[in-house]
Amino acid sequence: MNGITLKRILQPLRSAVFKVSATLSVAGFSCISPASAQVSIFHNDAKTGIGSWLNDVTLKGQIEGGITANPARPADGINYGNFFGDHANQVQLDQVYLTLSRDIDPAKSDWQIGFNLQALYGSDARYYHLLGISDRMTSDRYQFIPAQAHIDVHAPIITKGGLDMQAGILQAPMGREGMDPMSRQFYTLAYTSEYAVPFEHVGAMFNLHVDDRYDVLFGLDTGNQTTFGRRDNNDEPAAYFGLNIHHLLHDKLDITYLGRVGPENSIRALGHRANTAQRFWNDLSAAYKISDKVTLTGEFNFLHDEGLRAETYSFVSFLTWDVSPSFSFNYRGEIFRDNTGLMVASFLDNRSYMNAIAGKTSYAVSAPPTTYGALTLGVSYHPDLGHHIRTFAIRPEIRFDRSLNGTSPFNAGRNTGMFTFGGDAVLGF
């Protein structure tokens, strides 16, 4: 199941007849009828028009809860360097989300208009706010965000494959691990996914399908997790550029590069120099199918911040072995270098992360310049339950983090290494 269609939700109204006396317009589609016309918007034989458009609207929901246990029981109660499972030895509700959407199909050669509206509640929301929209709603651990709110358009222009466009509140496209737990192999995130890629934007993204092999990516936004005017932490926008290459080596290899440049620091912290001090983000990844059941992925990331005079660089490797249709084994290994100690931190209260984005006082702990190594092993049990259950997964994992240059950032500054275990459970309809 891919969610519940609007047609199913409104099934009792299927044969309803509406009188149309003007122009009916939904997301750019118009149906012009004389005053006496009658339109059945859910007619079985409708191939075009508003009925067909609405029939492709779906409602999806998902809930995720998890725990990251730490036998060392750090004095501050925090698993250092871990956003989603930051509270040691505590079960938490990570996400409950609802998504109302109409997807576009880039494979089709006609104009298409869709949308995505997603609301999310849970502990993960603390790290995905947009300044000025939801960041001041509450100081509780469980918070609310409008995770997505964008219009999507597929335009059959410029090339045979056409141009895809999204505009509004967007989840950042950079990196291999996203906010949706089913878009990644593990409950916890890599350092790269937390500290070296952006999370959320207000702006527009474009994907030009040059041909079956090449896509050109570009976009413009207000900055990472910022909006407009006083809700922006500086006065300048940021931009994406990149390339997707598909179907290499007999359809076994896909490569993605995304770059990004723009000021990301706050005027509160740097003064007006924040408007010209650029942050350069670079993320290159490749996924190779060793066999029908085994996929190997590598990700290289480099970030340079002129304002902070800071750099990070990292390499992350992933391996997924689909042992059966309902069971997989997952590996992740990472080396992450924080050259100044200014990028990796753990935030000690529920507003600290967004306060840091805004340049306000933030309660956090960090470490000296450190090279982090992390190894994570896990399994995923994800049977098809049917009965309108779209997604079900149980994903236990074990993880070992270590400073490779002798610093002691873990367990409230006591240890050079940290061992954790836990995982999450996900249920979606």
pLDDT at residue 59, as a whole number: 95
Q: Exposed, middle or buried by CB within 10 Å (0-12, 13-18, 19+), for 19?
A: exposed
AA identity, residue 304 = H
pLDDT at residue 44, as a whole number: 43
pLDDT at residue 3, as a whole number: 60
pLDDT at residue 8, as a whole number: 52
Distances, alpha carbon 118 to alpha carbons 5, 60, 97, 102, in Å:
15, 9, 7, 12
pLDDT at residue 106, as a whole number: 85
Tens-place pLDDT, residues 321-335: 999 999 999 999 999
pLDDT at residue 1, as a whole number: 44
> Could you tell me the residue ranges of all domains in the chain?
1-56, 70-428
**Residues 233, 198 contacting (CB under 8 angstroms):** no
**Residues 179, 147 contacting (CB under 8 angstroms):** yes
pLDDT at residue 20, as a whole number: 33
Distance (Å, whole) CA 368 – CA 187: 27
pLDDT at residue 5, as a whole number: 53
pTM for this model (two decimals)? 0.87
AA identity, residue 169 = I
Phi, psi torsion values for 350, nearest 5 degrees: -75, -10
Distance (Å, whole) CA 350 – CA 319: 33
Selection from 48, 25, 47, 23 nearest residue 33 by Cα: 23
- Angle (CA) 179-180-185 rounded to 5° is 95
Which segments of the chain have a pLDDT < 70? 1-49
Three state DSSP letters for 271-306: HHHHHCCEEEEEEEEEEEECCCCEEEEEEEEEEEEC
**Residues 404, 371 contacting (CB under 8 angstroms):** yes
Tens-place pLDDT, residues 76-130: 999 999 999 999 999 999 999 999 999 998 888 899 999 999 999 999 999 999 9
pLDDT at residue 373, as a whole number: 98
pLDDT at residue 4, as a whole number: 57
AA identity, residue 120 = L
| Tokens 């079900």 belong to residue | 392
User: Which run of H or E residues covers position 375?
Assistant: strand 370-381
- Here the tokens at position 213 are 């092999």
User: Residue 315's beta-bridge partner residues?
Assistant: 300, 335
Query: Class of 70-428 per CATH?
Result: mainly beta
